[in-house]
Structure 1
Amino acid sequence: MNQEVMSSKTSVQHTTTRSKSNATQGAEMRKPREAPPCAPQTVALLTPLGTLRLDACENGVHAIRILMDVAPAERNDEAPPRCRVVNGGPAERIPEMRRCVEWLQAYFGDRHSTGSLPPPPAFHHPALRADTFTSRVLHTLFNNIKIGETVSYKRLAEMAGNPAAARAVGGAVRRNPIPLIIPCHRVIWSSGQSGPYMSGRGDRLKQWLLAHERTTDTRRTPIVSKSPSSIERVVDRTADPRPNEAQADRYTK
């Protein structure tokens, strides 16, 4: 009798173990497989700003890095500045990389091509895919502030949904992984002063970019102040720089 009871208990234990094992295997099978990590490749581009390094994968552009290896070139409308690949190789064949190169070549080209830029590449940097204030600021800047236009930190904070976050906007701009295409150089003080760029190392570069865009944008219209509820592309030129905006410029890209 005792042997029968022990045999029955053993059978139940084996059945329970098999059930747990099957459940575990089923859960593992149902678990979605993670996408393989990106393998960004790099292209070097010689521009009027010096060398740019572009990082991109098949899904989109990860970063544009301004190396600051030379001073910005003199603008000459009769001879548009050159923008050419100096170190590409297989990376040039990545579709989103090609789109990034073509966009930058048009941006640094003559005024006609700059006035009608090709579609920008897709973005694939984690900071731009996350649901964060930084991502919202950068997408708002990209979607709304066009060539020949500028916006203050305060106004950009309003447009991004947090009027009190001018300083946080400065931090978001500092973390911009794709400058030029996401135009952090167009974020200025409320007074109209350009403010620092790249922690003060790129002040001349920022002024060059703003002057380049004023020269090349033939569609530009006067910029006027709008009400806070508006989401027009504007710059507030009436107010003095606020302390939080000055602090924000410490973080400017």
Structure 2
Amino acid sequence: MGRAELGSRTGYSESTIASFEQGRRIPSAEFIARADEVLGAHGVLLELVEEMERAQYPPFFRDAAKLEREAVEWHVYDTRVVNGLLQTEDYARSVFTMHRPVLDEETIGQRVSARLARQQFFSRKPLPTTSFVIEESVLRRRLGGRTVTRGQLEQILLIGQRRHVEIQVMPTDREEHAALTGPFTLIETKEGRRIAYVEAYKYSRLFTDRGTVRELEEQYGVLRAQALTPRESLAFVEKLLGET
């Protein structure tokens, strides 16, 4: 079957099919499912879905992405940009566009799509217990300009209204701060394992030893007590939106 016919029968352009074949783009799970049916592969292609999903992410995030899809609890402290789970399409595109060395448009589009797909996290069942502590400076940084920033603040307000999500802002004028060592994520799996994820430049690490995880859990607990409450935080974000 040629590219044109496969594209026609799966709903993708011939150029997109060529990009998949030549490794310039990573096919989505939806395309793989359609192609498996059209080509009569009897599930052989479907076995590649998980591998393709992993390939959408930078190598340092792939293990964390798998945990994210299965976690029953997910708690995040952010210091540089709004967390990927909260990002709008325009904000995510701005983040990847600012990457140095410069990323090509196909890579940017691929990473934006993968980031947005992660947000299915908020609607899967059972609903994961989720919290975010965000530095005030992150919310005031106008990445992408005023319109992008406003859209991002509005998205935070919407997600923050979900009953299983709590968002807190850490004000810059606080005299005490329990997590000056940097950002991290705390994870609990459905098996009850507790894991800490720490990310730096082209590097990440999952900590499973109880000592390290306990230290970061203590930091996060104190940090949440020092930050604005969830209700105060949403009011603060709304105030910022009015000023932006």
| Structure 1 length-normalised TM | 0.25
- Higher RCO (Cα < 8 Å, 6 or more apart): 2
Higher helix share: 2
| Structure 2 length-normalised TM | 0.26
